[in-house]
């Protein structure tokens, strides 16, 4: 039996993903050592491998087949636009992709003027504004602390993740439009899905059963 490899997103989603996998009997004790700098872990018994990668790279590993299965946020899946199957919504890391800004910026939306949009997600922002006939936008890519942009005059609005809304609130900003809901998803390599159909389907069904309780 060959190894099935999981690519998991480092950061916010990692621990919750590991907990969920543990609930379906997929464990990797080695991975829990907080002091370890090791990147790849093996469960010999189950013939599984796991690695933690930067969230934005997970779809790349899965598309190329370096990982058979990945767990990553829907935001990253949409942004990266890789060829893969999205098979299970884990319901973890729930948040929303939104257009946000100061209250006054609301009237700039749909009004034909050029607006600048700062975001970590230029593709999602482009897709969202693309179909607006009467709106020209300039997308400005940033890598973090996106809420700063409208405050310091870099952009009129932002496209960013909103979870509790406290980052917006603490900076005098608000949600102006909601783009889509987000959560962590399981993605599968298209060839692996065919070649390892039975094993992968079993894991996906186990996950679905846990999630639906
Ligand atoms: N409040 C939140 N802020 C950001 N991401 C969230 C939030 N809640 C859930 N998520 C989900 O968690 C995923 C990973 O977030 P995390 O902040 O760990 O990574 P990242 O922002 O891609 O990493 P980095 O900060 O290194 O750029 C996001 O892609 C998103 O799907
Ligand atoms: O609605 P909230 O609960 O306040 O969460 C949303 C905030 O969290 C994320 O930032 P993150 O902490 O990842 O930092 P970053 O801005 O440096 O990416 C996101 O980009 C928002 O800024």
**Residue 192 confidence (pLDDT):** 98
**Ligand 2 centroid, distance to 145 Cα (angstroms):** 7
Cα distance between residue 167 and residue 10, in whole Å: 22
The residue whose CA has the least distance to atom 20 of ligand 2 is 161
164 C-alpha vs ligand 1 centroid, how far in Å? 13
Topology of the domain covering 4-93+183-212: D-Maltodextrin-Binding Protein; domain 2 (3.40.190)
Task: Identify the band that residue 110 occupies on the pLDDT scale cut at 50, 70 and 90.
Answer: confident
Question: Where in the chain is CATH 3.40.190.10?
Answer: 4-93+183-212, 95-181
CB 91 within 8 A of CB 207: no
Asked if 65 contacts 7 with a C-beta cutoff of 8 angstroms, the reply is no
Q: In angstroms, rounded to a whole number, what is the distance separating the alpha carbons of residues 37 and 74?
A: 27
- Report pLDDT for 83: 98
CA 94 to each of CA 13, 57, 185, 206: distance values in angstroms, whole numbers, following the listed order: 10, 20, 11, 21
Q: What is the pLDDT of residues 50-75, one digit of tens each?
A: 999 999 999 999 999 999 999 999 99
DSSP-derived secondary structure for the chain: -PPEEEEEE-STTHHHHHHHHHHTT---GGGG-TT----EEEETTTTEEEEEE-GGGHHHHHHTTSSSEEEEEHHHHHHH--S-EEEEE---S-EEEEEEE-GGGGGGTTSSSEEEEEES-HHHHHHHHHT-TT-EEEEEE-SS-TTHHHHHTS-SEEEEEESSSHHHHHTT-EEEEEEEEE-EEEEE-HHHHHHTHHHHHHHHHHHHHHHH-
Ligand nearest to the CA of 80: 1
d(CA 121, CA 84): 19
Question: Could you report the per-residue pLDDT of 113-164, keeping only the tens digit for each?
Answer: 899 999 999 999 999 998 777 788 999 999 999 999 999 999 999 999 999 9
Q: Is the minimum distance from the CB of 164 to ligand 2 under 6 angstroms?
A: yes
Ligand 2 pocket check for 36: Cβ under 6 Å: no
- Identify the CATH homologous superfamily for domain 95-181: Periplasmic binding protein-like II (3.40.190.10)
pLDDT at residue 96, rounded to an integer: 98
Instruction: Give the max Cα distance, the chain.
Output: 61
Tell me which residue has its CA closest to atom 19 in ligand 2.
Answer: 161
Task: State the pLDDT at residue 139.
Answer: 97
Look at residue 34 and tell me whether its pLDDT is greater than 90: no
Residue 100's pLDDT band (cuts 50, 70, 90): very high
Closest CA to ligand 2's atom 9 = 161
The pLDDT of residue 78 is 98
Take residue 72 and report the two structure tokens written for it. Answer: 């990553």
Residue 11, ligand 1, Cβ within 6 A: yes
The rounded Å distance from CA 167 to ligand 2 centre is 7
pLDDT confidence of residue 45: 93
């Amino acid at each position: 039996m060959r190894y099935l490899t999981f690519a998991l997103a480092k950061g916010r989603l990692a621990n919750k993903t590991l907990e969920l996998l543990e609930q379906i009997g997929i464990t990797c004790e080695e991975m829990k050592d907080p002091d370890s700098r090791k990147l790849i872990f093996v469960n010999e018994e189950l013939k599984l491998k796991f690695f933690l990668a930067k969230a934005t790279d997970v779809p790349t590993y899965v598309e190329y087949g370096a990982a058979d299965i990945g767990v990553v946020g829907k935001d990253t899946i949409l942004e990266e636009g890789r060829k893969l199957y999205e098979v299970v919504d884990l319901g973890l890391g729930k948040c929303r992709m939104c257009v946000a800004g100061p209250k006054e910026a609301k009237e700039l939306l749909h009004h034909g003027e050029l607006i600048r949009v700062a975001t970590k997600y230029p593709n999602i922002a482009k897709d969202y504004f693309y179909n607006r006939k009467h709106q020209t936008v300039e997308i400005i890519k940033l890598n973090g602390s996106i809420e700063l942009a409208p405050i310091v005059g870099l952009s009129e609005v932002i496209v960013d993740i909103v979870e509790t809304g406290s980052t917006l609130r603490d900076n005098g900003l608000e949600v102006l439009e909601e783009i889509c809901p987000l959560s962590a998803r399981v993605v599968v390599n298209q060839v692996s899905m065919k070649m390892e159909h039975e094993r992968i389907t079993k894991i996906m069904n186990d996950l679905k059963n846990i999630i639906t309780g």
